[in-house]
Amino acid sequence: MCSPQDFGMSAGGVRMVTRSRISGLRARPRGGREEAAPLRKGEASAEEEKSHHPVKRQRKAQSLNVAYEASDGEKGEGTKQLKAPSWEPQDWRQQLANIRTMRSGKDAPVDQLGVEHCYDPSAPPEVRRYQVLLSLMLSSQTKDQVTAGAMQRLRARGLTVDSILQTDDSTLGTLIYPVGFWRSKVKYIKQTSAILKQRYGGDIPASVAELLTLPGVGPKMAHLAMAVAWGTVSGIAVDTHVHRISNRLKWTKKVTKSPEETRIALEEWLPRDLWSEINGLLVGFGQQTCLPVHPRCQACLNQALCPAAQGL
């Protein structure tokens, strides 16, 4: 289940330039641009070879640039400093380990019915990516079971950009009902599908910035679409569960008032190699244990470490 804001998911090695990837539905290079491969140990840079004046190896530690998913729409977000955060929550490693233990059964609704399970795996890659985006749009303010049911009905008719554009609003409403805000979603899905057909050849855009221009697509959806559809970690996908639990565990330096505020606060300290894991982990934890109302603190391995446990 997602929040209303959804409308608007280690280093430690010696390589200095990393690129985060998780398995996705990518079938072609994005933008068709060649990217410079990171230098390997012992290789000279083009500038060094050209000038015949090798750059002196610096003994002093330098800040490391981590190249990550920067596409046309994300220029300026393309590098982040890989350095120790100035602040991190007390006990977060143990709290995270406890949540992993509690989630080891992988038996929460999100594990069976989340976005990774809603698209047709036999469809062409661009259709799968469209289905991923559509299931994310449907999932806002909607239980996973209801989203999965709506996706099943849509897929039974052949779910593509064209099939949606050929479906009248009333039929589309009947197919997706009872997802939350289904009337608005009919409108957003139609508008977004028309844009995808006109501007992206029926595929979905491959940057957060472009995804956010689509009607009914918010930050959480955009980051999850990047992860699931394109296999790219672009940010932490924060929904209402991640937002609530982060505040209960005091994983944000200050109390945050929206999922987007929480995303920014978490990305300031949480190691990047954990970003893709956090959404699924905390959503399932929020569905089964750290419930919105009456969380099951007695059954929670974090009870002794949780700042919120006493007051709930």
Which residues contribute to the site for ligand SF4 (CB under 6 A)? 248-249, 289-290, 295-297, 300, 302-303, 306, 308-309, 312
220 is catalytic: yes
Which of 212/297 has CB closer to ligand SF4?
A: 297
Tell me how far, at minimum, the Cβ of 79 lies from ligand SF4, in Å. Answer: 34
DSSP letters along the chain, please?
Answer: -B-GGGT---BTBS-S----B------S-STT---PPPPPTTPPPHHHHHHT-PPPPP-S--PEEEE----GGGTTSSEEEES--S---TTHHHHHHHHHHHTTT--SHHHHHSGGGTS-TTS-HHHHHHHHHHHHHHHBTS-HHHHHHHHHHHHHT--SHHHHHTS-HHHHHHHHTTSTTHHHHHHHHHHHHHHHHHHHTTS--SSHHHHTTSTT--HHHHHHHHHHHH-B--S----HHHHHHHHHTT-SSS--SSHHHHHHHHHTTS-GGGHHHHHHHHHHHHHHTS-SSS--GGG-TTGGG-TTGGG-
Tell me how far, at minimum, the Cβ of 186 lies from ligand SF4, in Å. Answer: 36
Catalytic residue among 83, 197, 220, 254: 220
Which of 281/306 has CB closer to ligand SF4?
A: 306
Which of 197/250 has CB closer to ligand SF4?
A: 250
Which of 167/246 has CB closer to ligand SF4?
A: 246
Which of 15/296 has CB closer to ligand SF4?
A: 296
Tell me how far, at minimum, the Cβ of 137 lies from ligand SF4, in Å. Answer: 29
Tell me how far, at minimum, the Cβ of 260 lies from ligand SF4, in Å. Answer: 22
Tell me how far, at minimum, the Cβ of 215 lies from ligand SF4, in Å. Answer: 35
As annotated, the active-site residues are: 220
